[in-house]
Amino acid sequence: MPHTSNPSDPTPPSERPVAIVAGATSGMGLAIALDLATTHDVVAVGRTAASVEALRLAGITAVAVDLTDDGARAALAASVDRVDVVVHCAAVGQGLSIDEATPEVWRSYLELNVIAPADLTRLLLAPLRRARGTVIFIGSGASTKAVPGSAVYTASKHALRGFADVLRIDEAPHGIRVATVAPGQTDTPMLQRSIAAAGAAYEPERYITVESVARAVRFVVDASPDVHLTDVAVRPRTELR
């Protein structure tokens, strides 16, 4: 992957750490990729070539990868030889009643929300171990509590949180830090679709901004080497139902 230049960063190109941001083309992932690009060479992963074009213009190495494709994940992992940070942002989520949760729906949610980040992490373990790197999973309030009318999404986020907790224990001997950053309601296209489907009013001023989530991720990435930040909950200033 080529070096991402940033004139404001005095760090020599050969010494800049490398961050992979999966699901980087909109919402939280886009904000996180742009923030990390000030100090890291960022590989921003989106689903289609069209969706990553704007990131290329921002000086970020952008790649189109279907994260639910086993071979595509393997090719992405094989294309990098240094990885200091991985941020898993790609997800699907909307309110679905239990009677709407067909096996096909379950498979589609688990493929993107759980299997893809778990397997991409597995494929990147070697360079992460060499770097004593950091893996960040973007969770949700649904990672720890039940969300009425959203059984599939809630189950997938619980599963992702469980994977992160085990990964943290298993990779401790290799020095890898693992964190779950769990935002509450955040002003993203996903939330807009969810609220529209529920027929409710969208009130962006009440929600977390994507930039605030990016700052929380930065807090974890920049943690001093003596600490391990494991769970960061990011809630709206005024709690919402």
Model confidence pLDDT, tens digit, residues 205-237? 778 888 999 999 999 999 999 999 999 998 887
Which superfamily, per CATH, for 16-234?
NAD(P)-binding Rossmann-like Domain (3.40.50.720)
Confidence class for position 2, pLDDT limits 50, 70, 90: very low
Confidence class for position 192, pLDDT limits 50, 70, 90: low
Q: What is the pLDDT of residues 134-147, one digit of tens each?
A: 999 999 876 676 66
Q: Tell me what pLDDT residue 142 has.
A: 66
CA distance 83 to 1: 11
Backbone angles phi, psi at 42, to 5 degrees: -100, 130
Confidence class for position 148, pLDDT limits 50, 70, 90: low
Strongest mean pLDDT among 89-98, 111-120, 183-192: 111-120
Confidence class for position 10, pLDDT limits 50, 70, 90: very low
Confidence class for position 4, pLDDT limits 50, 70, 90: very low
Task: Give 49: exposed, middle or buried? Use CB within 10 Å, 0-12, 13-18, 19+.
Answer: exposed
pTM, entire model: 0.86
Alpha helices by DSSP H, listed for 58-150, are: 70-78, 103-110, 116-123, 125-131
Q: Tell me what pLDDT residue 130 has.
A: 98
Rounded (10°) angle between helices 151-171 and 103-110: 40
Residue pair 183/213 in contact (Cβ under 8 Å)? The answer is yes
More confident residue, 47 or 35: 35
* Mean pLDDT of the residues in the chain: 86
Q: Tell me what pLDDT residue 40 has.
A: 95
As annotated, the active-site residues are: 153
Q: Tell me what pLDDT residue 5 has.
A: 40
For the chain, the structural domain boundaries read 16-234
Which residues is 155 bridged to in the sheet? none
Q: What is the pLDDT of residues 25-37, one digit of tens each?
A: 888 898 999 999 9
Q: Tell me what pLDDT residue 8 has.
A: 46
